[in-house]
Each structure stands twice: as structure tokens, then as C-alpha cells.
Homo-oligomer: A and B are copies of this chain.
């Protein structure tokens, strides 16, 4: 929410505002509608990375006054390695990165990934028609997971916005527990979680999202991101709660012995 008194930082030389519709690490949803209204009033282009959001939020580019929007297949049960960039007709000129035969009206030369494109289109169609149902199911599983952890464990915290968040994401800090170590233990027990973004799973440095949000090192270094999907089951969630609780307790006990 943009609130009264918030500073609007659009300057004379600002040509573009670009932000994620929802954050990939903590699931916080950006106030797209208000930003779209402001950028439109200020006559500044508005781009949003909707890769994480498109499966769960209804993003009407006209209503939300979005000029450019990025999408990706693999976050909505579509093929990996294919995405799309929506560009509002007449809004701007995009300089191509890949030159050559002039495919896609010169925007991206090269023989097209036909199966990927068809798959992406179908995935978008399904995401659209099943959005409400998927959101409800995934939110239920995610909330039950949190409830289960919260019943059994002290000093755990949700990262990101408490309410304005995607239904499929849960970023949790388990204070006193090293997140790299916990992720390893969970993986051994069949629960796959991540410390940061999916792109940087091989990196050990701290998430810039969490360091930007949190001042407390304990919370940053003990934070884990869980993702939930439409094909997860209630029994998987109960099992995952048990695995996480056991491992957190074990790691905390180990810390106490040191």
C-alpha cells in the first residue's frame, strides 16, 4: 500500500519504473495497482516482473495500467525455458538483444521454440481458469503448514508481508538454526526447501531480499523458503511439518550442547 506521506521518488529523468509484482523469496505482493496509477499519471513506463505472481494474481494490464510485463512458463506448470514479455502497443521501443533473421518482428531473432511457446500459452490458459481453485488449495496447505510449525516450535517468524503475500510461499526464520544446515537435513528427509532464490542455490551469501528487509542477522541466517504447489497433498504437509519440527529441534539441541 502506498500511504499518505510516502515519498514518491519519480524524478524528471525517470523513464521507467520496474518491480516484481510479487517477490520470489518472501512472496510479498507489490501495490501494483497504485504504482500503475502513479506511473500513468506521471507518464512514466511501468514494467512488472509477474513471473511469481501470474499463477495466483489476476493481472489485467489495462486495469492496472501496466506497460510491460514479464512472464515465465515454469512457475505456472508450463515448460521450462520459455517466457514472454508483454509490451503495450505503441508504449515504447524495445532494442533487441538478439539480432539476425528478424523473427518475432525483429524483437528476437532466431528460430522459435515452438513447443515451449505452445506450452506456455496452454499453461497461461489453465492458470487463468484454475487460478481461484489453485490459490485456495495452496493457501490452505501453506497455512496448515505454518500452523503446524507454530504449534510445535518457538521463536519462528514469517518473513515478508503478513497478509499481502502469495498463497504458495512461506519464508520462515527459525531463530538459532543455520539455514544451510537445516536445508541439507530437510533434503535428506525428503523435504526440499531453499535458503534464497532458486537461481542462487549454489551461493552461500545472504539473500539481498532478506538483508534489505530485516535488520536482525539471526533472522536472516535462519531463514528458509518453502514453496507449495497444486499437486501437494495434506498428508505431505503433515509429514513435512514433522520433518521440519524434528530437524529444528535437533539442530537447536545441538547448538545448546556446544
Residues of A whose CB lies within 8 Å of any CB of B are 72, 74, 79-83, 97-98, 100-103, 109-117, 197-200
Contacts and interface: CB of A to CB of B under 8 A. Distances in A.
Contacts of A197: 101
B111 A113 contact: no
A194 to B, nearest CB: 13
Contact of A199 (B81, B82, B102, B198): B102
A80 B199 contact: no
Tallying the copies of this chain within the complex gives: 2
A79 B199 contact: no
Contact of A115 (B79, B98, B102, B117): B79
10 contacts: A79-B113, A80-B114, A80-B115, A81-B115, A81-B116, A101-B199, A102-B199, A103-B199, A113-B113, A113-B116
Given A81-B116, A97-B97, A116-B81, A111 B74 contact: yes
A199 B115 CA distance: 19
A98 B80 CA distance: 17
A111 B200 contact: no
Nearest to A100: B199
A112 B80 contact: yes
